[in-house]
Structure 1
Amino acid sequence: MYTPSQYLSLDESLLLWKGRLSWRQCIRTKAARLGIKSFERCEAETGYLLQYRLYTGKNTAMYPGPLHGFNDKTAKVVLQLMEGYLDTGHVLVMDNWYNQLLLTRYLKSRCTDVLGTISRRRKGIPHAIKDLNPKQLERGVSVGRHCGDIALVAWKDVKLVTVLSTYHQHEMVPGRRAGQAVLKPTVVQEYNRYMGGVDLKDQKLSMFLLERKRNRKWYMKVFKRLLNTSLLNAFIIYLRNPIYRMYSHRQFRLKVAEGLLSRYPRVSRCHPEYRINCNGLFFVWNRGITSLFIRKLIRGREFKKNRKQLRCVRCTALKKRVVVTVMCKLCQVPLCLGKCWEDYHTVENL
């Protein structure tokens, strides 16, 4: 149905959930801050959701055994999310939680470029970058190291940022920060452009929340989130067609709802009818008109006055003790709503 562009963004998303759940996470950089975490791979420019994995605790194995020779859980998350998209020339953009040098070399061998930040404490980082002291560096200074196709660039802005790329060199391009002209590395500029695919998807969904705050079951909220995301994906596919760009996001959702209602209208339920006898008066009975003959007993004087008659007549005949608060207006007999009511008015020999 949809072929994504070259740049793919991999990040975690947080679904707001304040109830009790053993794998509930707290991520202060997200809008929800507290909820159910999921690993997602989206198209970087549109936010189209391509792959989804729900986080269910650190002891939950995302994949039993090694995956492509990797036993690290983080690497297995990345490789699982990239299933079906390796060897196709995509560029995977991810942050320092996922990036590591061995994984980057493997993805590069599978015709998949990698772009993203990386922690200087990772294994294999050269000492020229690992031993940098941010306090001794002036703003705008950059240090680069290369090994084959992999380039590591450390750039001092407000903080020291280390970026990894498999298709860039140590090049500087003009940019602007706070209205002033600055020079920044090309890898930093492209990382800022293509990293926000998952956050873009969450931002678009925040205006149309199908998942409400009062869901008591977490899995129903996850289901509604996926349903909401599928509507967003359908809207992105709709925008790809240059002929039919007529509706906004809100109008598109209304048209989808109208189309579903016209295609699957509500069918009136037909119930079997019975000819009943109430004190010599014959009526055609079904569930639609049952309420016409129901009398609800009010708790109080009437309840105390008729307390000996509050046992269901049909259940009493079956040697069951069931106390009810309704009776037939015509028969003046307490009955359970449902089968007892139906049997009393239709069965000849009770």
Structure 2
Amino acid sequence: MATARNGRELFTILETSADAESSAACDGQEHPLNLSSGVKWFEIPFKKPGEEEEEDDDGEEEDEEGEGENGDASTAAGSSLGCDILVVTPRSNGVKHEEEDTWEEGCVSASCSDDSDLDFSDLEEEEEERAGFLGYNEDLYEDCTSPEFWGEPDQAIAIEPFTAASGPQHPLGDDADTRDYFRVLFPDSLLEHMVEQTNNYALYRQRRSGKADPHWHPTHAREMRAYVGLNILMGVNQLPEAGMYWASDIFIGNAGFKKTMTARRYEKLTQYLQLCDREAEPVRGERGYDGLFKIRPLLDVLESTMWDAYTPNRCLTVDKSVVAPGRSSPTHSMPSKPLRKGLSVWMLCDSRSGYCHRARIHVGRPSEDQAAVLQGYRAVTSLVHGLEGQYHHLFMGSFLTSVPLLQRLLRDGLYACGPTQSGRKGYPEVLRPRNVGKLAQGEFYQCQRGNLVATVTRDVKVISFLSTNSAPGIVGISPGEQLGGEGDSDSMESSGLTLGVPRPLPLLLYQENMRGVDLCDQLRECYQVGRPCRKWWRYFLWFYVNLCIVNAYIVLRESRGGAPPAGSNGKQFPQRHFRVRLAQLLIGDYQGARGMERAARKRHADSPIEYGHRLERMSERSRRCRNCTNKGLRHESVFGCKICNVHLCRGGCFSEFHK
């Protein structure tokens, strides 16, 4: 019943009777990790070529007669056994390979003794570091490249149960509002630090320029909270330019923005906004130079708050996310992401909720495969630091997945699964495309080394997988997907069944759990925070603020079971309402100088002169009259009101403006 093909153990699609479901379902075991209940799954025992030949001696003639033009005996076998449920069965091609009887059992970790975190000391790798990385990388492959490393998929794997507590760790009570949840992730101390450094940077800039800025005065915590709140609202109510929020047109301008602060004040806060002491910043090449010095205080605070606020669940996702297009050096092309090119970060997210536990800024541009493998190795080990021995399950992208990394994670008590590049060093030679040949949809090969299982299969296209949490020989059939061509569809319709495409367990687990970073990106990309700018570090500032908003929303949603916080109307509380409510609480009743003056003008419009408003000479140079500009006219004047800080024409413009 086997087909002669160039490769090792071939798994072909066969049709069996309905009795196979109950007997093959592992005798009452639970469903595999995180698979939906609608997926039918089966465990298929591996048979060595010699055992199979003994069983098939009596039916050898029937097999030969049943072979079609392509040498596939699946149709004849299906007609003789019935055709209710599709399963995948291992078959040997009769080809013997060298070292076939010398496979070693057990899982031996590669020589990976370096457990250091990512080095963020510079945004570009130095040539000496790259040379050291390549030399270190050779040690990673010391065991997995030997011919005796991979064996037949006939070993049982051991997966320890996950028993750690998970979920939100800061119960705030029923009276907590959106700002309380945001404060857990983005503490007030960080806002106060921003105020201090912004004031210091404004003085630093004025000293360097040698002249004072007449439009700047020191900011404070209330104003900084209002400034952040306005940037959050700009993501909900998006306009092409920041100045349009203060436009006089009633259909464009926003009354709330005008009441909170003036457009000039917003521009000045944006101009001098700072997170670090720029006077103490080391120059490139000096001892202690840090390429991320401008956002280092932000990273140090948020790394601990994001990690402590939510304990990771069993299944986690590691992938790369694009922050925003940028001009700085660490830009990367990612065709599969919504933003194809820009500043990127590694993210560790919860597969179920999308909560981001850690984010690491992507450093360097490795072009060689070895450098890419090492970069992924160090990125993942840095992100999962602190989870050792808790038996989490990690799902990663193809850029990260490698044999040395999965061995290291398994040694640390972490299971992993993900696609990989078939040409990557350490992947089984017999599973490379040139040795496997053309696969039909649903067919797959597997090799094993203890818990480490390598799989090559064809779904929409040929995919190579590495996993340490998937037993070999287990397949699942997802409902609602048609299999094969017209002939298969006719036979299934005649039997009254709709069967899906069989998929090996690593592919099923990956499809179910590789969504944490995508969920986080979807929540984050819906409403951007901040405005585009020319400074790379500000993209990261607003990225982390936005990330804290998303995390706070997830914590609120899980802590309250989806119920809205106190003071909110309606039964549902989507992310949009969360952001608007958060911005309103951050702004509060704050009004800048212009807002208070306008309120005073409204209360005392009958006699503005009594309250200090008078027409007087403003400057030697004439400027446009504010009252005429509001009416669409262009008149200039050197006179105006100093309290309102506007130029006005002599005559009726003064009284008309103050009404």
**Does residue 1:198 correspond to 2:517, yes or no?**
yes
What is the letter of the counterpart of residue 172 of structure 1?
V
The structure 2 residue matched to 1:187, chosen from 503, 506, 523, is 506
Aligned pair in 2 of structure 1 residues 108, 296: CA closer, same or farther (>3 Å)?
same
Q: 1:163 to 1:290 in 2, by over 3 A?
A: farther
CA distance in 2: counterparts of 1:119 and 1:243, whole angstroms? 41
1:247-289 CA distance string (max 9 Å, x none): 2211112222222233x7347699xxxxxxxxxxxx999xx86
In 2, are the aligned partners of 1:134 and 1:160 still within 8 Å (CA)?
no
The 1:229–1:207 alpha-carbon spacing in structure 2 relative to 1, beyond 3 Å, is same
Q: Is the 8 A contact 2:327 2:536 kept in 1?
A: no
Return the match for 2:478 from 175, 181, 199: 175
Partner residue of 2:456? 154
Aligned partners of 1:72, 1:295: CA distance in 2, in Å?
Answer: 64
Structure 1 residue 176, shift from structure 2 partner: 4.6
Q: 1:80/1:243 Cα in 2 relative to 1: closer, same or farther (>3 Å)? A: closer
Q: 1:238 aligns with which of 543, 551, 556?
A: 556
* CA–CA separation in structure 1 for the residues paired with 2:507 and 2:383: 24
1:344 alignment counterpart = none
Q: Structure 2 matches for 1:307-326, cutoff 5 A?
A: none
1:31 counterpart = 2:361: no
CA contact (8 A) 1:44 1:196 kept: yes
The CA deviation at 1:189 is 0.9
Greater RCO, 1 or 2 (C-alpha within 8 Å, sep 6+): 2
- Name the SS of the counterpart of 2:579 in structure 1: helix
In the alignment, what sits opposite 1:16? 324
Superposed, 1:1-350 pairs within 5 Å as 1-17=309-325, 19-58=326-365, 72-130=374-432, 132-133=434-435, 136-170=438-472, 171-176=474-479, 178-180=481-483, 181-212=500-531, 214-242=532-560, 245-246=563-564, 247-262=573-588, 265-266=590-591, 292-295=616-619, 297-298=621-622
Matched position secondary structure for 1:116 = strand
Provide the C-alpha distance between the structure 2 equivalents of 1:155 and 1:143, rounded to a whole number of angstroms: 7
The Cα RMSD (Å) is 3.1
What secondary structure does 1:137 align onto?
coil
Deviation at 1:243, TM superposition (A): 5.1
- Offset of residue 57 of structure 1: 2.7
Listed as ranges, the gaps of 5+ residues in structure 2 are: 1-308, 367-372, 484-499, 565-572, 597-608, 624-635, 642-659
SS in 1 for 2:317: strand
Any conservation in 2 of the 1:16–1:33 contact (CA below 8 Å)?
no
CA distance in 2, matches of 1:106, 1:243: 37
Distance 1:290 1:148 in 2: 87
Looking at structure 1, the residues matched to 526 and 574 of structure 2 have their Cα atoms a distance apart, in angstroms, of 13
Change (3 A) 1:107 1:329: closer
- The SS at the match of 2:357 is strand
Q: Return the alpha-carbon distance in structure 2 between the equivalents of residues 293 and 179 of structure 1.
A: 82
Amino acid at match of 1:230: C
Deviation of 1:234 (Å): 0.3
Contact 1:154–1:161 (8 Å) recurs in 2 = yes
- How many angstroms apart in 1 are the aligned matches of 2:510 and 2:562? 32
TM-score, with length taken from structure 1:
0.70
Identify the residue that residue 296 of structure 2 maps to in structure 1.
none
How many corresponding residue pairs? Answer: 278
Q: Cα deviations across residues 287-321 of structure 1 (Å, max 9, x unaligned)?
A: x869854255339xxxxxxxxxxxxxxxxxxxxxx
| TM-superposed deviation, 1:81 | 1.2
- C-alpha separation between the residues in 1 aligned to 2:586 and 2:330? 36
Output the amino acid matched with 1:265. Y
Amino acid at match of 1:197: G
CA contact (8 A) 2:317 2:348 kept: yes
**Unaligned residue ranges in structure 1 (runs of 5+):** 60-70, 271-282, 300-324, 331-350
Matching residue's letter, 1:72: L
2: CA distance between counterparts of 1:220 and 1:204? Answer: 20
Change (3 A) 1:248 1:141: same
**1:265 to 1:122, Cα distance in 2 relative to 1, 3 A:** same
Q: Which moved more, 1:128-137 or 1:151-160?
A: 128-137
Aligned to 1:309: none
Work out the CA distance in 2 between the residues paired with 1:105 and 1:191: 18
- Aligned CA distance change for structure 1 residues 233 and 290 (closer, same or farther; 3 Å): farther
What is the rounded CA distance, in whole Å, between the counterparts of 1:224 and 1:104 in structure 2?
34
For residues 243 and 126 of structure 1, do their structure 2 counterparts lie closer, same or farther at Cα, with a shift above 3 Å needed?
closer
Secondary structure (helix, strand or coil) at the match of 1:199 reads helix
Q: Give me the whole-angstrom Cα distance separating, in 1, the residues matched to 2:433 and 2:618.
A: 83
Shift of 1:152: 1.3
Shifted more, 156-165 versus 123-132: the winner is 123-132
Against the structure 1 CA distance between its residues 9 and 295, is the aligned structure 2 distance closer, same or farther, given a 3 Å change threshold? same
Is the contact between residue 295 and residue 329 of structure 1 (CA under 8 Å) also seen in structure 2? no
